[in-house]
Structure 1
Amino acid sequence: MPPACKKENSGDLASFKNNTQQKLPGKELDQVRSYINNPDEFYYFKVNDDWMAINRSHKESLNILQRHLYIKKSGVIIGKLAGKDLIPDHELALSLIINKDAVLETLLNKDQAIQYLRRDNIELSTTDKGWTLMTFEGHPLGWAKLLPNRINNYYPKEIRILSAHPPREW
């Protein structure tokens, strides 16, 4: 009996349909673009509720890859729209494409930064309201929402500091 032969490859690639990618409406697109530095350099798209951006020069490559492969992640997640408010994603906070001139920035001292990274309550003396980029020594840490009577910490739970030991000197 001859050994089992492998079927010959036709050279055609399997085609994957990406039903989750949607185009952004114009009004929403303007809101998203305001968070991005040099917004004309990026291609914007929506995957489920997440707003994404990739460099415009990679748009055609992404489209080709999506037709033939399952793409789990591409681009930078900007955030989700809730009403007229954009809930910025942690990925945007740490990205190089964020327009720091368009976002409120809150400077934290060392103790406040550690509290923020632990997702503990932070005491700040500020009258600002809304989304703010929490930073320590010029480095972005993540997002918080400043409210009149409290601060909502949006640092991701899964990467927070769990140790109660004080950190070594920085």
Structure 2
Amino acid sequence: MSVVLVGIVGALVVFIASVRGEDEQVQPLAETVAEMTPDHGEQATVPEPSLATDPAAACKETTSADLVTGDGRGDRDSGPGVILAFEHAYYVERDAKKMIALTSENSRIRNAEALQEGIDSNPENLTHCVRVAATDDDAVWLVEITQTAEDAEPETITQRITTTEEDGQWSVVKIEEAS
């Protein structure tokens, strides 16, 4: 089993074990965007590259009302912003304490030792790209994280992340596996 796969499994086990919730079927993010085809014989628009097939080309910073994409530092100004910050702390800063600082006080994702163990199980050259899509609930986001290690195929993790806003600052509350 590759080091990347071990890291993914380790990180998912930590998150799922700490936030085990109801099994709710969520359509994968890639399937939630319908492909547009113009009428009247116009040339079809080429869809954006999939993060799973071309992470470098697809990981440009984008922001719209329904979709945020990127690998940047994020912020605490919105649900997608805190999710980007949380993933940046995991993949780039590799710091569980910074991840915990981005969670709410009542979050079950506050085990620094387990988080750091998940981080340390990944190769240091692991890159990531995050796509955060809105759902019907303003605090819940469908998130695709595509991670790529040097000389390895990209791997995508799909999660449902619940956030909360308190006093103008957003925090991560819960992370669940989405299928």
Does the TM-score normalized on the shorter chain lie above 0.5?
no
* TM superposition score category, shorter chain reference: under 0.3
Q: Compute the TM-score of the two structures, normalised by the length of structure 1.
A: 0.24
- Of structures 1 and 2, the one scoring higher in RCO (CA 8 A, sep 6+) is 2
Greater share of helix residues, 1 or 2? 2
